[in-house]
Amino acid sequence: MYKKRKLAILIALLTGTAAAHGQTDLNSIEARLAALEKRLQDAETRASTAESHAASAEQKVQQLTQQQQQTQATTQQVARRTTQLEEKAERPGGFEFHGYARSGVIMNDSAASTKSGAYMTPAGETGGAIGRLGNQADTYVEMNLEHKQTLDNGATTRFKVMVATDRPPITTGRQAAAT
């Protein structure tokens, strides 16, 4: 009987321990399941946040791409216009001004002005042509304004205006009375 009793106690102990152990395993599994569910929820939240950030980043990339394309188009337009202007600047032409003026007086031995003409000088009695060395007794002014242009079709234009004046020698009262 002693053996039966021992066996009954042993069975009771083993069954009670297994039940207690089974209860502990169930609590542990539920706790682990709750922890996994929390981790899953946190992961879903992070994924949702990452998706919204990715969508925002894609939108910004599209905006930057559009801005870059617009900038490139503008840069190409500026480059084309610059090339056209450089080509136009390299063409011969433009505004030119040319001028010539002289004024002189011919003096005789008495330090008074005397008559002379082109190619004549009071240096000698021969009155031969000496040359234009500034020995003219007259005043002369000449002005040329010129505009040269090459058109887009390759044609060239030239507009020229010349203004000149030839003023007779200035005579003094003494000279007028002498003649």
Task: Compute the average pLDDT of residues 149-158.
Answer: 84
Reported as a single tens digit per residue, the pLDDT across 46-79 is 999 999 999 999 999 999 999 999 999 999 999 9
Q: Chain-centre distance of CA 104, in angstroms?
A: 54
**Residue listed under structure tokens 């399941």:** 33
Nearest to 101 by CA among 14, 165, 170, 146: 165
Q: Give mean pLDDT, residues 148-172.
A: 78
Bigger pLDDT: 142 or 68? 68
- Domain segments of the chain as ranges: 1-90, 92-178
- Nearest alpha carbon to residue 171 among 102, 106, 101: 106
pLDDT of residue 168: 61
Which is more confidently placed, 169 or 6? Answer: 6
What DSSP assignment string belongs to the chain? -HHHHHHHHHHHHHHHHHHHHHHHHHHHHHHHHHHHHHHHHHHHHHHHHHHHHHHHHHHHHHHHHHHHHHHHHHHHHHHHHHHHHHHHHHSS-EEEEEEEEEE---B-TTSSB----TT--TT-SS------SS--SSEEEEEEEEEEEE-TTS-EEEEEEEEEEEEPPP--HHHHHH-
**pLDDT tens column, 66-120:** 999 999 999 999 999 999 888 777 766 678 888 888 776 667 777 776 666 555 5
Range among 1-10, 33-42, 110-119 rated most confident: 33-42
